Structure 1
Amino acid sequence: MSTLTFANGALSSPVTLFADTFGFASSTSSTTFLTATGWFHGEGYQEGYAEGSHVGVVEGRRYGSLHGAKIGSEIGCYLGFALTWQCLLQKCMDEKNSKKIRALDSLIRMIQKFPYEDPTYDKLQEDLEKIRGKFKQVCSMLNIQSDFRIGTERSSLTF
């Protein structure tokens, strides 16, 4: 290992210099080196863990906001669709339309009971699938082909 010469003429190895600077007391250079390596490893781990945790929280928040907005857009579209058709069908009340209105009422109730404010709700995906299924059933009863897509630009419901 090379040595450093200071202005006062003292000779010192880099490991000894490090040990003196950071307060590591050791009788041998190799022990000091191992202690320094362990210290750097521990400090690096702590810094990396803290930074990773912060980045994970930010990324998780962004991911949650994005997917929450997509679900909200989808559910909102279903509700608007159901309320519009409910209004249209109530003008012409007969046996055929009463079944359609009952299915629309059921879809509206499902949407109104959906837990918007609780992302930890354990049956969130299950309830969302039920709403999607009811929406498809209503579209079938109304003889409408629906295609709900969520893109990067906007969401659309095509007929």
Structure 2
Amino acid sequence: MAPAQIVAELDPFASALDLEEHHFRDGREAGMQEGKAAGYAEGRAMGVEQGFRISYEVAFYSGCLSQWHTAGEHGGRLKLNPRVLRHMALLEDLVRSFPWSDAQDPNLHQLVEAMRGRFKTLVTMLGLGDAYGIAHAADESLSF
């Protein structure tokens, strides 16, 4: 027999004295279950929000590429030299390789970071830094 059972048999008030401990344990277990359920709900909401942000960003890059191609064709306002076209092709490859159906892809964040870097490079090469809110590195270091 366990010592707690012996005490319970000898002391008729043992269950009343352990009441606080029983309620504490029951409350803790109930709180853990509710917390787990709330955590899943919050995690799902956060995942949907982050997924939307990333998808929006990738779609933005795709739209920019489309517009740049249109603006550079047929003597448009953008001058697309071979170097710019090569960088645009690299960004297009990154956008095309984006795993739309696999949110658990371990390379997802690296891919998005690569897209951001390519996009910033292209914006600078095209001279569109002001239009996209990307400051020039040389301008930031100057102070008078």
Where on the TM-score scale, by shorter chain, does this alignment land: which range? 0.7 to 0.9
- Which residue of the partner structure matches residue 16 of structure 2? 33
- Which residue of the partner structure matches residue 127 of structure 1? 111
Query: Which of residues 34, 58, 64 in structure 2 aligns to 1:75?
Result: 58
What TM-score results when the alignment is normalised by the length of structure 2? 0.73
- Which residue of the partner structure matches residue 137 of structure 1? 121
More deviation, 80-89/139-148: 139-148
- Which residue of the partner structure matches residue 133 of structure 2? 147
- Which residue of the partner structure matches residue 98 of structure 2? 114
Query: Which of residues 33, 43, 49 in structure 1 aligns to 2:26?
Result: 43
Overall identity of the aligned pairs, in % = 25
The answer to whether 1:97 aligns with 2:50 is: no
Q: CA RMSD in A?
A: 2.4
Residue type matched to 2:83 in 1?
K
What TM-score results when the alignment is normalised by the length of structure 1? 0.67
Query: Matched residues in 1 for 2:98 and 2:84: separation?
Result: 21
Measure how far apart 1:53 and its partner are: 0.7
Query: Matched residues in 1 for 2:56 and 2:133: separation?
Result: 14
Query: Matched residues in 2 for 1:133 and 1:147: separation?
Result: 14
User: Residue 121 of structure 1: SS of its match in structure 2?
Assistant: coil
Measure how far apart 1:29 and its partner are: 4.5
Unaligned ranges ≥5, structure 1: 1-24, 149-159
Greater RCO between the two (CA within 8 Å, min separation 6)? 2
Greater per-residue helix proportion: 2
Greater per-residue strand proportion: 1
Say if 1:89 and 1:101, in contact at 8 Å, map to a contact too: no
Say if 1:89 and 1:97, in contact at 8 Å, map to a contact too: no
User: In terms of Rg, which structure is larger?
Assistant: 1
| Number of equivalences | 123
Unaligned ranges ≥5, structure 2: 1-7, 135-144
Segments ≥4 residues shifted beyond 4 Å: none
Residue type matched to 1:139 in 2?
V
Say if 2:72 and 2:80, in contact at 8 Å, map to a contact too: no
